[in-house]
């Protein structure tokens, strides 16, 4: 059997795609290991094996809740951030259908939100996208104006995964809750490891989270549901997760997610300034290149994401060239079977498709080192300078 590379930061290429996923943290793997081996019981079983698994699962609810400022019963473990948003949005939309069918959102949401809402449109829901500015930020006053008597749900992300812009959630929550009975769903998947997340004071009713952006396991996430919020389950079968998500629970995943979020919370004060400084150093190096324009908000942004447009070059070509030179980054676009779709996020921010083609996203993580950034600085500036020189006449665009 052919094996893929095993991540070893000393021997591997520089990994600058932590917004896509992060490596599993050894302490998290250690916490999960018993539940991938000896402690294999079904948490719904009444015998000793089941009880051991149930205890671990209950403990994971408690620990994740403590790490995000929630109550254990408000947490539903899911198969990831995507399922969390599917459950939150569809569950709340259907539960509120007799009161209204209008849902307000932004055009820069992750597809886990955007496509869930597009699905709901097939069933008579009306989805209204409130525009964002050049930085990808929504104006809470526009959200306010879009809410009518028929509105039951608003969905705005905490921070954008492509350009890193933070949305003004506190202000959005204020305007949403001035309208009685309207729920606010927040996709916090990309932001959660990087902001001081306290769901109870965020002002939202539903918050989607994912483990693998925080050095936890892939395929595990959670939806926080404010106590008292009515939601219809979207997957039916057993009575797991207080009837809100049927199916035998992923005990190891839940344990791993809780451990990952505990570590993130305990270390955030140290991690965030260190990663931000490294990101800013890389940003400064790229800013020296003529034809490279930063995207997203200059200050209201996540500390680990650096997003740029290299004018006149193709982002996919640049990412490929960087891969060959030992730096793993991503483009700002979703690639599907050979064709590169322009990013819906940059489109909503007002970038024409030919400019959005040059989008690149470099994202750091807790495990990123100063040596990684020194190497990336050297390689990325050299590769981009080479590609920009090849397309020199095309990038006479003002970078600003
Ligand atoms: C903002 C945002 N929402 C949702 C998701 C999906 O999360 P998951 O991969 O856990 O399904 C992602 C992952 O890229 C994301 O960045």
d(CA 146, CA 392): 44
Instruction: Encode pLDDT of 20-49 as tens digits.
Output: 999 999 999 999 999 999 999 999 999 999
pTM greater than 0.75: yes
Mean per-residue pLDDT, 147-164? 98
Q: What's the farthest any 2 CA atoms get from each other in the chain?
A: 73
Residues 6+ apart with CB under 8 A from 27: 259, 263
**Host H or E run for residue 111:** helix 111-121
Domain 26-263 fold: 3.40.640
Q: What spacing in Å lies between the alpha carbon of 17 and ligand 1's midpoint?
A: 13
Catalytic residue among 178, 335, 389, 392: 335
Instruction: Please count the CA atoms within 13 angstroms of the CA of 230 that sit on its side-chain side.
Output: 10
Residue nearest ligand 1's atom 7 by CA = 81
Q: What spacing in Å lies between the alpha carbon of 378 and ligand 1's midpoint?
A: 30
Q: Which of 44, 9, 13, 19 is nearest to 345 (CA)?
A: 19
pLDDT bin (cut points 50, 70, 90) of residue 122 is: very high
Tell me the CA end-to-end span of the chain in Å, nearest whole number: 50
Is the pLDDT assigned to residue 398 strictly greater than 50? no
d(CA 359, CA 233): 38
Angle, vertex CA 87, rays to CA 183 and CA 182, nearest 5: 10
CATH code of 14-22+268-395, in short, is 3.90.1150.10
Work out which ligand 1 atom sits closest to the CA atom of 85: 4
Is the pLDDT assigned to residue 86 strictly greater than 60? yes
Instruction: Encode pLDDT of 43-58 as tens digits.
Output: 999 999 999 999 999 9
d(CA 262, CA 357): 38
Q: Which residues form the pocket of ligand 1, taking CB atoms under 6 Å from any ligand atom?
A: 80-82, 110, 112, 157, 161, 187, 189-190, 210, 212, 221
d(CA 281, CA 369): 12
d(CA 1, CA 43): 34
d(CA 292, CA 276): 20
Q: Domain limits of the chain?
A: 14-22+268-395, 26-263
Work out which ligand 1 atom sits closest to the CA atom of 212: 10
d(CA 180, CA 362): 41
Work out which ligand 1 atom sits closest to the CA atom of 220: 10
Residue 335 annotated as catalytic? yes
């Amino acid at each position: 059997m052919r094996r893929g590379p095993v991540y070893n930061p000393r021997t591997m290429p520089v990994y600058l795609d932590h917004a896509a996923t992060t490596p599993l943290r050894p302490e998290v793997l250690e916490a999960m290991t018993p539940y991938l081996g000896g402690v294999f019981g079904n948490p719904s079983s009444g015998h000793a094996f089941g009880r051991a698994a149930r205890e671990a699962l209950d403990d994971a609810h408690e620990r994740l809740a403590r790490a995000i400022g929630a109550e254990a019963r408000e947490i539903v473990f899911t198969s990831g951030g995507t399922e969390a948003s599917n459950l939150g949005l569809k569950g709340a939309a259907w539960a509120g259908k007799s009161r209204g069918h209008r849902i307000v959102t932004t055009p820069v949401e992750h597809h886990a939100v955007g496509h869930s809402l597009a699905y709901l449109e097939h069933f008579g829901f009306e989805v209204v996208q409130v525009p964002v500015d050049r930085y990808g930020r929504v104006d809470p006053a526009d959200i306010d104006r879009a809410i009518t008597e028929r509105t039951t749900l608003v969905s705005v992300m905490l921070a954008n995964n492509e350009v890193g812009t933070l949305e003004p959630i506190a202000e959005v929550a204020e305007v949403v809750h001035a309208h009685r009975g309207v729920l606010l769903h927040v996709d916090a998947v990309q932001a959660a490891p990087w902001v001081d997340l306290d769901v109870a004071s965020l002002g939202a009713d539903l918050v989607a989270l994912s483990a693998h952006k925080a050095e936890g396991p892939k395929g595990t996430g959670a939806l926080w549901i404010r106590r008292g919020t009515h939601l219809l389950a979207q997957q039916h079968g057993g009575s797991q997760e207080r009837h809100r998500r049927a199916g035998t629970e992923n005990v190891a995943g839940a344990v791993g997610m809780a451990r990952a979020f505990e570590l993130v919370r305990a270390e955030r004060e140290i991690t965030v300034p260190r990663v931000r400084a490294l990101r800013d150093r890389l940003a400064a190096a790229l800013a020296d290149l003529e034809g490279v324009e930063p995207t997203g908000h200059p200050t209201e942004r996540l500390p680990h994401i650096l997003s740029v447009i290299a004018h006149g070059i193709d982002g996919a070509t640049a990412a490929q060239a960087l891969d060959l030179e030992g730096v793993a980054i991503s483009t700002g676009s979703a690639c599907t079977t050979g064709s590169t779709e322009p990013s819906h996020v940059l489109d909503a921010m007002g970038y024409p498709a030919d400019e959005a083609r040059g989008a690149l996203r470099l994202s750091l993580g807790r495990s990123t080192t100063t040596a990684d950034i020194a190497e990336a600085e050297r390689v990325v500036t050299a590769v981009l300078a080479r590609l920009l020189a090849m397309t020199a006449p095309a990038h006479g665009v003002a970078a600003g």
